[in-house]
Amino acid sequence: MLDDFDRRVLRHWQSDPSLSPAELAERCASTSGKVARRIARMQETGIIEGICAVIDWAALGYSVEVSLRVTLDKTQPRAFDDFIAAARDVPEVTEIQTFLGRVDVRLNIIARDMPHYQDIYRRRILTLPHIADIEALMQIAQIKAEEALPL
């Protein structure tokens, strides 16, 4: 699916997504046209899903991050669908993951401070449908957050 040249392009682009095709071509010892065609092909095939800006939430005043592990009432036939649809509407939910096992869903929540988090939790989270159990894990420090693959 990927050849060595594709991997080289991705490796350099992952390390610095601001590189233009010409700069990538220089680092990959190729032409900018070839690099641009490879990037376009990887975008068309879904290997490259998009390019995004990484925002430092703390710099914008969001100093609290909490991970909520939620177990749903699975006796309800639409528990997952209803819960996920409602959770998507909470602006402070930055991530939703589903799991197999005791925990069904993990929500990542950001808040400005603890009173703001308590308000979100009481008014928005506890009103989500089909919750059987919920456990909060407050993030103390982020040690590693790596999006790059070892190519």
C-alpha 138/C-alpha 68 separation (Å) is 9
The per-residue pLDDT for range 36-94, each reduced to its tens digit, is 999 999 999 999 998 888 889 999 999 999 999 999 999 999 999 999 999 999 999 99
**Tell me, what's the pLDDT at 103?**
95
Strand segments, DSSP code E, in the chain are: 64-72, 93-98, 105-111, 131-138
C-alpha 27/C-alpha 11 separation (Å) is 10
Question: 3-state class of 20 per DSSP?
Answer: coil
Among residues 96, 93, 68, 80, the alpha carbon closest in space to that of 129 is found at 80
112-128 average pLDDT score: 97
84-110 average pLDDT score: 96
Q: Kindly report the average pLDDT of the chain as a whole number.
A: 94
C-alpha 135/C-alpha 80 separation (Å) is 17
**Tell me, what's the pLDDT at 51?**
85
Neighbours of 104 (CB within 10 A): 23
Q: What's the predicted TM-score (pTM) here?
A: 0.79
Query: Beta partners for 133?
Result: 71
Task: Indicate whether 142 pLDDT > 90.
Answer: no
- Residue 136 token pair: 């909060």
What's the Cα-to-Cα distance from 138 to each of 68, 85, 142, rounded to whole Å? 9, 24, 11
**Tell me, what's the pLDDT at 83?**
98
Among residues 90, 73, 92, 78, the alpha carbon closest in space to that of 127 is found at 90
Task: Indicate whether 148 pLDDT > 80.
Answer: no
